[in-house]
């Protein structure tokens, strides 16, 4: 890292700013694009299998967390704009050491996850084309990664047009499933076939009897595997919704951020509730949770087992669109995170250099190199038959490291309010966009809940063993095995190292005098002290 001891500069002194090429309506869809990936279609099936109907409450809880995150982020983005994304806020309000750990963890999260989306695209292409050779599988995955790289090398407005179009496609498919599922539940169409026949499901109105039989208690019906399984699985649910913070990354490059950011943050929350909770509730009402898994999208399984085969292919094919879209958005967000680390003096300075079309090209190449390493590792794991465990473990690691970005955003917003009061300001009157007083508890709830979820990941294996022992003591066959939740102490330690190691490196470089403490600002950006100078002096 190079020495960057310099004072903040204005836009006139630093013309190298990110291009503002994203329209207001595109910002919201970019946020959705990062959320609805292959993990949504494949991972939700795994969540339902392990958590049972209780998965609905898990997603509802995460919905509240996302709401707390987005209102906190909007307050930061509008009142103290930064092109360095959330990393700029953690650096200013939590300090450079913590910001280094959070920023590199966010980068690590997507560097591991984007290649998994390329693998998901390859799997979908194989299913659609019928070409199942190993050579074709590798070629599809490599081709997908190359396409993601090329798109992100172009100007940001090209990325925005492509990603918003893909996001719209995914939303339409989910709406189709909602209508299809409601029709099955009411009894307008679909007859049980295959494995469903063993559950004595009949045509007509389904009610709630499929997963809530009258011979067991309501609690046991909602939580067939117990509450503890849900607590250790919460990180996986969190990763399913990760990507919402990318709306903030895009906002730095939107044409009218003061209007676009609050509107996008609100709309993303509403749409996530509609696009996650509604489909999951429908699945619970019409499909036995024990039949769900992550081998094929649960939406496709529902269509197939109710004899609606054409929709099976539609819902299976959408995995390809979702994976490419999420990989595309993740690539964008990862590169912008690395750009933010560099502009904040927390990564090598050459990574903040922009190309002629005002894109962070060096950060693209740097990130791409590591993604290729992960992709090759993933392909080798697939060839040797270890991809399923790799995919599950990857979800947990991504959930752990990615969740830290959310923790950093909310903690920064809380710290900003403390400093406002120290400088003599009332946050309820001085902020252009703010978290309403009546909603002040939501960010605190989101912050504490996420920390608990991260800690619980370390206890996944003991919880699984306790569940299995309890089922066997009752003479019942356990529905899950040790490792099914993908958690455990090993994953916890690996994910933690992605945070701690960059912090150690930063401290070493800092003691050697190789890093600075004052970042370079862009455009009309101001430091907190410039935007809110003490009024009692």
Q: 311 CB contacts (<8 Å, ≥6 apart)?
A: 176, 177, 180, 300, 303
pLDDT value of residue 358: 66
Read off the pLDDT of residues 376-389 as tens digits, 9 standing for 90 and up: 877 777 677 655 55
pLDDT value of residue 27: 54
Q: Which two tokens stand for residue 425?
A: 């300001």
CA distance 177 to 173: 6
Residue closest to 203 by CA, chosen among 217, 183, 220, 221: 183
pLDDT value of residue 319: 76
12, 202 Cβ separation under 8 angstroms: no
DSSP helix/strand/coil, 353: coil
CA distance 60 to 269: 12
Alpha helices in 423-476 (DSSP H): 427-430, 441-456, 460-473
Read off the pLDDT of residues 407-464 as tens digits, 9 standing for 90 and up: 989 999 999 999 999 999 888 888 877 888 888 898 999 999 988 888 887 777 777 7
pLDDT value of residue 28: 55
Residue linked to tokens 């997908």:
144
pLDDT value of residue 293: 76
Apex CA 241: angle with CA 413 and CA 440, to 5°?
Answer: 30
CA distance 78 to 414: 15
pLDDT value of residue 383: 73
pLDDT value of residue 164: 67
- Domains along the chain? 24-515 (1.20.1740.10)
CA distance 146 to 141: 9
Apex CA 147: angle with CA 145 and CA 153, to 5°?
Answer: 105
pLDDT value of residue 493: 79
The list of the chain residues with pLDDT below 50 reads 1-15, 18-21, 518
CA distance 463 to 230: 10
Q: 236 CB contacts (<8 Å, ≥6 apart)?
A: 43, 46, 47, 395, 396, 399, 485, 486
pLDDT value of residue 391: 61
CA distance 275 to 54: 18
CA distance 481 to 252: 45
């Amino acid at each position: 890292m190079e020495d960057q001891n310099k004072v903040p500069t204005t836009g006139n002194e630093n013309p190298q700013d990110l291009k503002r090429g994203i329209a207001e309506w595109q910002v919201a869809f970019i946020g959705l694009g990062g959320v609805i990936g292959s993990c949504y279609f494949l991972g939700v099936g795994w969540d339902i299998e392990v958590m049972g109907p209780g998965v609905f409450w898990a997603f509802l809880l995460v919905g509240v967390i996302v709401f707390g995150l987005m209102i906190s982020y909007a307050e930061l983005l509008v009142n103290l704009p930064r092109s360095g994304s959330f990393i700029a806020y953690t650096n200013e309000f939590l300090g450079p050491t913590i910001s280094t750990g959070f920023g590199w963890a966010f980068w690590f999260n997507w560097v591991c996850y984007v290649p998994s989306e390329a693998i998901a695209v390859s799997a979908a292409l194989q299913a659609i084309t019928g070409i199942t050779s190993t050579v074709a599988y590798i070629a599809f995955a490599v081709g997908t990664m190359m396409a993601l790289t090329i798109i992100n090398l172009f100007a940001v407005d090209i990325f925005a047009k492509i990603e918003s179009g893909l996001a719209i496609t995914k939303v339409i498919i989910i709406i189709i499933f909602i209508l299809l599922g409601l029709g099955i539940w009411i009894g307008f169409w679909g007859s049980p076939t295959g494995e469903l026949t063993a559950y004595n499901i009949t045509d007509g109105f389904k009610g709630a009897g499929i997963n809530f039989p009258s011979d067991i208690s309501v609690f046991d019906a909602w939580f067939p595997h117990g509450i503890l399984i849900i607590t250790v699985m919460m990180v996986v649910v969190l990763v399913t919704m990760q990507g919402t913070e990318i709306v903030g990354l895009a906002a730095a490059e939107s044409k009218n951020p003061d209007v676009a950011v609050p509107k996008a943050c609100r709309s993303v929350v509403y749409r996530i509730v509609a696009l996650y909770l509604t489909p999951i509730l429908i699945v619970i009402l019409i499909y036995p949770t024990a039949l769900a898994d992550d081998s094929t999208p649960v939406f496709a399984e529902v269509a197939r087992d109710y004899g609606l085969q054409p929709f099976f292919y539609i819902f299976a094919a959408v995995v390809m669109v979702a994976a490419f879209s999420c990989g595309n958005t993740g690539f964008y967000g990862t590169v912008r995170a690395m750009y933010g680390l560099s502009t904040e003096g927390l990564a090598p300075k050459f990574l903040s250099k922009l190309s002629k079309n005002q894109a962070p090209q060096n950060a693209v190449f740097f990130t791409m190199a590591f993604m290729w390493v992960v992709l090759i590792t993933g392909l080798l794991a697939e060839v040797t038959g270890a991809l399923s465990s790799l995919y599950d473990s990857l979800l947990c690691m991504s959930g752990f490291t990615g969740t830290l970005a959310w923790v950093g955003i909310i903690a920064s917003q809380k710290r900003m309010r403390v400093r406002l009061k120290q400088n003599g300001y009332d946050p309820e009157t001085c902020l252009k966009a703010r978290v309403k007083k009546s909603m002040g508890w939501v960010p605190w709830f989101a912050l504490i809940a996420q920390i608990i979820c991260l800690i619980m990941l370390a206890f996944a294996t003991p919880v699984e063993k306790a569940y299995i022992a309890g089922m066997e003591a009752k003479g019942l066959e356990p529905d899950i095995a040790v490792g099914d939740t993908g958690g455990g102490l090993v994953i916890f330690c690996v994910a933690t190292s992605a945070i701690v190691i960059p912090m150690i490196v930063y401290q070493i470089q800092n003691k050697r005098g190789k890093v600075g403490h004052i970042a370079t600002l862009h455009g009309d950006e101001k430091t907190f002290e410039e935007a809110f100078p003490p009024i009692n002096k």
